[in-house]
Amino acid sequence: MSLFYEDIRIGERFTTPRHRITEADIGAFCRLTRDHHPLHTDADYAREAGFPGIIAHGLYGLALMEGLKTELHLYDESSIASLGWDKVRFLKPLLAGDEVHVQMDFTARRESKGRGVVTEAVRLLRGDEVVIDAEHVSLIRMRG
Using one digit for the tens of pLDDT, what is the confidence trace for 25-43? 999 999 999 999 999 999 9
Which H helix or E strand runs over 25?
Answer: helix 23-33
Q: In this structure, what CATH number is given to the domain that contains residue 36? A: 3.10.129.10
pLDDT at 80: 97
Whether the predicted pLDDT of 1 surpasses 80: no
> Which tens digits make up the pLDDT trace of 83-137?
999 999 999 999 999 999 999 999 999 999 999 999 999 999 999 999 999 999 9
- Please tell me the total count of domains within the chain: 1
CA 3 to CA 58: how far, in whole Å?
Answer: 29
Query: 69 lies in which domain range?
Result: 5-140
pLDDT at 132: 98
CA 129 to CA 91: how far, in whole Å?
Answer: 9
How many CB atoms sit inside 10 A of residue 91's CB?
Answer: 12
Split at pLDDT 50, 70, 90, the class of 144 is confident
How many angstroms from the chain centroid is the CA of residue 103? 9
SS3 call for 15: strand
